[in-house]
Amino acid sequence: MRATFVLGRIAGVRVGVHWSVLVIFGIIALGLSQGHLPETYPGRSWAVYWVAGLCTAVVFFVSLLAHELAHAVVARRNGVEVDDIVLWLLGGAARLKSEASSPGAELRIAGVGPLVSLLLGGLFTLGAWLLDLVSAPGIVVEMVAWLAGINVLLALFNAVPAAPLDGGRLLRAFLWWRTGDRLRATAGATTAGRAFGWLLVLLGLIAFVTSGAFGGLWLALIGWFLIAAATAEGRQAQLRGVLAGVPVQDAMTPEPLTVPADTTVADFLTGARYRYRHSAFPATDDGAPVGLVTLDSARKVPQAEARVVTVREVMVPLSETTVVEPDSPLADLLPRMEPGAENRVLVVDDDTLVGIVSLSDVSRTVTWLMNTTSGRRGDL
């Protein structure tokens, strides 16, 4: 999940927001301002309800961000680098560059999120009680009480032992500790995740059919998301097993064709050396990589401006491009790769570009390894 726009960095971690956040933000704000708050405290103006609903929705997302930041901070303390945090439709996700090195580290990284949400729930509960004691406006007390309940609910839901929830990570840590096999542990957690997802889908559909409640469809949507995410996580775990011990240099395309960053877009698009070969090219400055330019981004430049605009102005800068070393584990690169030409990975060794990696490169490597393994088994 790529961020639509970046908010900035907190504790050294890049924080982004996907456009789908607007959907859940709108649902929360609308539900509070036009439903819950008017029913609980009638007689206020519509402006009061809307301000209260919007403020509560904002604080909720700050709470969600705190949950994800806790994962990121603890991951770093346990030697796991963090790519970024992205808030989106169904919550948030901290993208880790690699996996935990031990069951204990996995336990700490996964467990801190629900603990933070539970702590926030307790603090908001205390805040609501104190506000009620000092006779604060009832609508303010209700806002804080709602935040207390939703954070406790978030903690409990995430603690369910089913991937990809935090509880699924805790289950994987336990199974990993018991069996000593991370792959088997992941398989167990993903199976639990799919089972829990189907349960939510079933309950949601039953609720919608019997009562017509929109909440039933929302529950079914969450269940479907869990099924898809758990399945994807299981497949990725299998791929990591196949790619164990394989360095990036074994899958990369070596010595890729590059384009100088100061080349105009017109020259880039019409240059014979860039035709019919690739959809993305590393951009360089004095031979050093500075970004990644795609044909699609270049073609979006109006023809009248193409002879003035340079590749540097339309490329994905190096700071937003995934960069790895040639001897980095290919398996650790998998969680950071996404479809799309703009998501190519640059392989750099001592500030020198030595290769580029796409999902097709990884797929080709996996196919070769699986065929090789099958061939060896057939010879036995």
Q: Which of 235, 173, 154, 225 is nearest to 194 (CA)?
A: 225
CB 17 within 8 A of CB 4: yes
pTM, to two decimals: 0.77
Question: Which residues are part of the catalytic machinery?
Answer: 68
244-to-41, 236, 239, 327, 331 alpha-carbon distances in Å: 59, 12, 8, 13, 6
Produce one character per residue of 245-277: b if its CB has 16 or more CB atoms within 10 Å, e if not: ebbbbebbeeebeebbbebbbbbbbeeeebeee
pLDDT of residue 278: 84
Instruction: Dump pLDDT digits (tens) for 51-61.
Output: 999 999 999 99
With beta carbons less than 8 A apart as the criterion, state whether 248 and 328 touch. yes
Whole-number pLDDT of residue 289: 95
> pLDDT by residue for the chain (380 residues), tens digit each?
566 777 788 877 888 887 877 888 888 899 898 888 898 888 888 899 999 999 999 999 999 999 989 999 999 899 888 878 888 766 677 777 777 889 999 999 999 999 999 999 999 999 999 999 998 888 999 999 999 999 999 999 999 999 888 999 999 999 999 999 888 898 899 999 999 999 999 999 998 888 877 778 888 988 998 898 888 888 877 787 788 889 999 999 998 999 999 999 999 999 888 876 788 999 999 889 999 999 999 999 998 999 999 999 999 999 889 899 999 988 888 877 888 888 899 999 988 999 999 988 888 888 888 777 555 444 54
Q: What is the pLDDT of residues 45-84, one digit of tens each?
A: 889 999 999 999 999 999 999 998 999 999 989 988 887 8
